[in-house]
Each structure stands twice: as C-alpha cells, then as structure tokens.
Amino acid sequence: METDSGAFEQLSEPVQRWIWRKQWTELRDIQEQAVSPILEGRDVLISSATASGKTEAAFLPICTALTDTAKDSLGVLYIAPLKALINDQQLRLQELFEQIDAPVTPWHGDIAPHVKRRLVERPRGALLITPESLEALFVTRGASMPKLAANLQFIVADELHAFIGTERGRQLQSLLHRLEIAKHGPIPRIGLSATLGDPLLAADYLRLDHGAEVAQITSAAQGREVQMQVRGYQRERLTGPARDEGADDQVEAETNESPTRDEIDIARHLFATLRGGTNLAFANRRLQVEQYADLLRRLSEREQLPNEFLPHHGSLSQDIREDAEDRLRGPRPTTVIATTTLELGIDIGSVDCIAQIGPPQSVASLKQRLGRSCRTAGSPSVIRIYIQEEELRANSLLTTQLRVSLVQTVAMIRLLLRRWVEPPPAAALHLSTLVQQVLSLLAQHGGVRAADCYQALCMTGPFASVGQSTFAQLLRDLAGHELITQTHDGMIVLDLQGERLVNRFDFYAAFHSPDEWRLVTGTRTLGTLPVTYPLLVDSFVIFAGRRWRVVAVDDERRIAELISAAGGRLPKFDGAGALIHDRIRQEMRQVYLDDDLPSYLDATGRELLTEARESFRRLRLTTMPLLQPGRDAWLFPWVGDIALNTLGLILRSHGIQSFAYGPGLQLPQTPIDSISGLVDKLIAQGPPKPEELAASVLNKRTEKHHRFLSDELLNADYALIQLDVDRAWTTIKAMRRAKVREQ
C-alpha cells in the first residue's frame, strides 16, 4: 500500500486486511484526506465526484474507530434519502463491518419487524435509515432513543445536497439535534455529496451555525474528459396519426396522443445509439419516461429484437425499479429511462453513455447525471442532450422565437464547465416541518412544557429563525385545530386530532404524499397514479413502459386492475419543474449577446441558436428589458424564477396581469406606457413589504402542514420561501434606468 500521508497506517488491522483483500494499491485522494479528521472526531464534509470512493472515505476510519466497540453497541448511524440507496449500501458495507465483527442493519418500510426489534433490543454495529424511518423511531419508540443514541460515535448523511434547503432537510437537521439531546452530547457528523454549489453553506447545514469548524475534504483529482453533444429538434405537430414504418393505424388512433415527428426522431436516435450498451437516459418528467419507454419498446418489437429499454421513476413499484437497477448491473445490454430517481448514488456499475431528454432542470442536476457516465479509469464521460423547440409560426410566443430551451441548456453547460452549480436556497422558516417536529416531540416524551419545546427545537435546534412570538402563535394554531392541548400543570400534550395525525403512517414524512390509485395486473402491483388522473373501465394507459386497458376500478380501496392492451394513453402525473436560478438567466442573456457556436451543437442546434440570437437583436433585448411587439407587453428582466414570480406578483397587486414563460413575463393587453408609468409610481412608493405582498396570494398552503397555520404565519413563511423582493426591486429600478436611456 502506497501512501504519502501515513493514512493507511492510522487504520486498524482489520480494516487494513480488508483493503489488502480488495487488492487496492493505494488509497484514493479523498480517502487519505478523511482518515485524520474523522478519527479526531471532527465534523467532516466530503465532496467528490460520483464513484470517487466517498463511502469508503467515511467508513474506513469509522470502522477503525469502532473496531473494539461496534460488536457490542450501535456506533454509527447512516442516513440516506432513498430506500434503494440503503439497500445498496448495506451490500457494500456488510463485508467491511464483518472485519470488526459488527452487523449492518437496514431500517425502512420493507425491512422485517424482527430485524428492527433485534436492533432495538441489542443496538450494535451500523444502522442504515431514511429520515422518515428515523422519525418513526422517535414517535413509536421514544423511550428507547436514549439507549440507541448512548454510544453513537458517528452520523453519516449521504447525498447531502438532496436535503439542503428542503422541508425534508430541515426535518433531518431536527432529528440529528434530537439524537444529540438523547445522547446528552454532540455526535460527529460526516456529510457526503457529489454536487455542492457552496461548500461553506453546506458545511453550515451539516453543523448549524458552525460550518467554519467543519473539515472540508474535496478531491484534488482532475475530472474526466467529457464528450458532449446537444441535438436540436423542431417540433412539428402532425395533422394525423404518426406514420412510423409498420405502424398500426388503429393502435395509434386509440392513444389519442400521437407522438410528434421530433419525438419519433429522438426515439429513433436513442434506439440507434444506445441499443447494445448499458446506458441511462434521463427525462425531466415521469410522463416523458413512460412516453420514450413505450416508443423504444415498440421500435424493438418492430425490429423483432429483445427490448432493452426500461422505465424507472418514483411512481413505479419497488420491484419494477429494482429489476431495472439489477439489469444495469448485469451482463445484458440495458438502457433505463429515468427521472431523478437514478441521479443519486445507487451503485449501478459503469454505464456507457448518458442521455438527457429536454433541458437539464439545474446545473447541479446536469453535473450529477453526467457523473453517472463511464466510471472506467481513463474513459471519457459521454452525454447526449436532446432539445425540442416549437416550429416558428406567425403567432409564436416570444419565448418560442428566443429558443429558450436550447439557450438555457447552453448556459447551463457553460456554467458547468466553469465548475459553478446552484448554491443552497435562502433560509426559510419551515413552519410546516416545525409543526411536525412539535407533534413528534410530544409523541416521543408523552408531553413537554412549551418553554422546553421551544428550547429543543428553536433556541438550540434548527428552527432558530422562529421567534418566541411566532412559536407561541404556532402553538395556538395547533390548539385551535385540536392537535395539542395544555394540561392543568402546564404540560403540552397531544389532543385527539393530534393523536390521530401522529398515528398515521404518512405522518413521518415532512413532504406531502397525494392520494393515489394502485395499479395492479393479476397479483402484481405495477405502481401508483395520482387520484386526480381519471381511471375508467375500458380506458387505456401507458405505464411501466407497457400498454394496458383498465378492466376494473375499486374507488373505495383506490385500486385499478389492468390487462395488457394494444392501445394506450400517457398518464398525467403531479409535480412541477425545478426553479431556475438567477445566475442561469444572466448566463442565458450572455449567450444571446455572444457570437460563438459551440462545437457540441449539431447542425439543427446551431441553426436554432442563430435564430435565437437574431430574434434577441430584432426584439432589441440587447438594451431594453420591456417591449411591445403587439397588443401584449413583455418583460425580460433575466432573473431567476423566484424573483420573476415576485415581480409578477407586484404587477398583479397594481392591477396588471402577468404570466411567466421561461425568462419572460407576458402582460396581456397592456400598453407599454402604462408599465412605464407604474414603474415611476412604484419607485416613489418604495419596495413593498414581503409579508404584505404574500397576503395577496390566494393559495399559500403549499407544504404538508400549512393547513393548520393562520394567515399571519402563512404570510411570513411564504415571504421567505417564495418571494425575493430585493431582487425584484433591483429589476424595477433597472427598468426605470432603461426607460431614461431610451428617451
């Protein structure tokens, strides 16, 4: 074993023997860097590319520290965002922990009760768990938490970037803090991530308000060569059923949603370039996953070839997703079409190529997906991105003329090559999650005094931005909904509705889970669809990459029975796209201003980019953010979605309708002079107060437990999460300066 730092010598003999058995010739860079700070008991943040050995970087020194104790006590808690990642890491860590005679116990909804009971009765080794299952431990086994936490020496949080800035992430921070309360002392935390926009903010998330003390470990290794192509397509709606060679007219007619020519062309290119290899194709929506899985399967059938194309998304059943993952690891050629479900670090081995259908949702997502490509040493990462733009017509929207999807993709690639990714979102109150944590704390202890509850969750916990008056109002709101009540001695306990809520299985998740149909065929469950999607007997649906007919519907049990069919209709899923960051919109503007044609664009992509720049100059967007090409005015401030939506809300509060389309705001039937006059009026009035602006929003109940909060608290929460008044106000002042220059 070659090492310059002596890191190998610091590892225990059992761990060293495991390394020799693996025939490693040297530790990787991050593995060497991680040994000392982890053994010293420091908080550590390890940020490195996918498949760079982050898991071993954490667990080699952890197993060294636990060599003499893990067989008799629970020494490490590993937290991951996905059950599949836990299952994967169990297989990966089991052999290592066998060297120190300690078990690795996975804990989630699919684990047998006797396995969990054994761990609670005799805590030892490593516990692998999701935040939701950890929440369930606090609620259902509150009295056991001090015993479980007593000898914990390490907490490992994997895929840290997936938690930062979310309700689920704030839940995780609260649970980690409550573990330390149960232990009566701090527990060293180790965060792992391949994608961090701001390592200092991520470190501050890992150890709240003490990020500067967290040891930062990043790989010094040079990144792999990247081979990239962006392919452009023009969307042309067909007047009749799509005429594939050999297409069955009746089958196409039954779909009622014939694919467009560009969708067929993309499917054919995917088929030609990916077939015979092991690949991942990412789509931004589950509907697209189903669409392309169906198109590619039919192409395989028409060529009389085995189908190599499988879907993977969160609405599919666990066994269907695991089958796709196993196929990727196996010897048979396989391409899996997936959403974000395969972005995270599930070990699927080496894939030959990444495909991205549609513009990436973020630079972080693009980086994460690219990191899944070809992990073989010395081989390049390969990615093909497929961008569809509408065919230009006389009445095309300005955003269509500006080819926004293509320009956004080019901007994201430019930022990725400069090693920029989105930083964590700004701090929020996370009042929905605070409701959950209050109820969970009461369930854990049976009752808590209000001052102690505030002390545990806010004063020393992750809800520090919630003041005493806000917390008191939150408790009053919960009492008003009969979730909590106060006893004669001042203790706060769960009320009847609170007991019912906490005892529901879906209480443990900080995020909302919609009501869903369960789709079955025979004795097999295929997955779920939101109940908002109508399922009627004899209707058709495309799901799990295949076509089905509904033969029975049980409304009470929310079950729909399916059989194979020739026809099919793409289902509609819930969910919205990611918010675009300010920096991306600014880079998009620069792409319009520049003249270069990136070499990674194909011929159609170059034509579309040239069209976009010609439109940008023709519309005079080089100097003016406000224009009126017809009856409607348009505003292009080149800000992120939060600031853009805030600007639209300010305009609507003054009687001007606005609709966001990509980077622009469409102001229907609005004379440009009225906007200019409004800008002067707004400048004279000064910026609006965020809470007052939030009060004009009708539906602010966007998070799981918002329904229990008063308008006062909802306005405060919404203002921090959804509004950026400062950035919107800067844009308004810039509009005035632009107007003065124009005059």
Closest to 160 (Cα-Cα) out of 105, 217, 102: 217
Task: Kindly tell me if the per-residue pLDDT of 241 is higher than 80.
Answer: no
pLDDT number for residue 378? 64
The model carries a pTM of 0.89
What is the percent of the chain with per-residue pLDDT over 70, rounded to a whole number?
A: 94
Measure the CA–CA gap between 373 and 339, rounded to whole angstroms.
Answer: 15
Q: What is the band of 443 on the pLDDT scale with cuts at 50, 70, 90?
A: very high
pLDDT number for residue 567? 86
Measure the CA–CA gap between 112 and 94, rounded to whole angstroms.
Answer: 18
Tell me if 283 sits within 8 A of 358, measured CB to CB.
yes
Distance of CA 426 to the CA centre of its chain: 16
| Average pLDDT of the residues in 78-92 | 90
pLDDT number for residue 702? 86
Query: Across the chain, what does the average pLDDT equal?
Result: 90
CATH architecture label of 226-417: 3-Layer(aba) Sandwich (3.40)
| CA–CA–CA angle 454, 459, 461 (5° rounding) | 90
Residue with structure tokens 């005892």? 503
User: In degrees rounded to 5, what are phi and psi of residue 324?
Assistant: -65, -40
pLDDT number for residue 471? 97
Measure the CA–CA gap between 613 and 335, rounded to whole angstroms.
Answer: 36
Measure the CA–CA gap between 118 and 106, rounded to whole angstroms.
Answer: 12
pLDDT number for residue 647? 94
Task: Kindly tell me if the per-residue pLDDT of 347 is higher than 80.
Answer: no
State the amino acid at position 404 in one-letter form: V
Q: What is the pLDDT of residues 537-593, one digit of tens each?
A: 999 999 999 999 999 999 888 999 999 999 889 988 876 678 999 999 999 999 999
User: In degrees rounded to 5, what are phi and psi of residue 236?
Assistant: -125, 110
Distance of CA 348 to the CA centre of its chain: 19
CATH 2.40.110.10 is right for the domain spanning 431-508: no
| CA–CA–CA angle 474, 475, 479 (5° rounding) | 120
Where do runs of H (alpha helix) occur along 528-627? Answer: 582-593, 603-618
| Average pLDDT of the residues in 335-346 | 85
Q: Which residue has the higher pLDDT, 92 or 480?
A: 480
Q: What is the band of 239 on the pLDDT scale with cuts at 50, 70, 90?
A: very low
Q: What is the pLDDT of residues 275-286, one digit of tens each?
A: 999 999 999 999
Task: Kindly tell me if the per-residue pLDDT of 670 is higher than 70.
Answer: yes
Among 233-247, 300-314, 413-427, 610-624, which is the least confidently predicted range?
Answer: 233-247
pLDDT number for residue 223? 61
Tell me if 567 sits within 8 A of 549, measured CB to CB.
yes
Tokens standing for residue 501: 């809520």
DSSP element (H, E) containing 129: strand 125-129
Residue with structure tokens 């009971």? 117
pLDDT number for residue 623? 83
Among 42-46, 482-486, 504-508, which is the least confidently predicted range?
Answer: 504-508
Q: What is the pLDDT of residues 354-404, one digit of tens each?
A: 999 999 999 999 988 888 776 566 678 889 999 999 999 888 889 999 999
Task: Kindly tell me if the per-residue pLDDT of 268 is higher than 90.
Answer: yes
Q: What is the band of 418 on the pLDDT scale with cuts at 50, 70, 90?
A: very high
Measure the CA–CA gap between 431 and 438, rounded to whole angstroms.
Answer: 10
Residue with structure tokens 């396989």? 334
pLDDT number for residue 734? 83
Task: Kindly tell me if the per-residue pLDDT of 222 is higher than 50.
Answer: yes
pLDDT number for residue 55? 93
| Average pLDDT of the residues in 60-88 | 93
Measure the CA–CA gap between 370 and 385, rounded to whole angstroms.
Answer: 11
Tell me if 247 sits within 8 A of 401, measured CB to CB.
no
Q: Which residue has the higher pLDDT, 345 or 424?
A: 424
| Average pLDDT of the residues in 67-81 | 93
pLDDT number for residue 247? 40
Task: Kindly tell me if the per-residue pLDDT of 482 is higher than 50.
Answer: yes
pLDDT number for residue 711? 95
State the amino acid at position 359 in one-letter form: P
pLDDT number for residue 699? 85
Q: What is the band of 486 on the pLDDT scale with cuts at 50, 70, 90?
A: very high
Superfamily covering domain 7-218:
P-loop containing nucleotide triphosphate hydrolases (3.40.50.300)
pLDDT number for residue 188? 98
Closest to 414 (Cα-Cα) out of 282, 594, 234, 284: 594
pLDDT number for residue 177? 97
Tell me if 572 sits within 8 A of 288, measured CB to CB.
no
pLDDT number for residue 244? 41
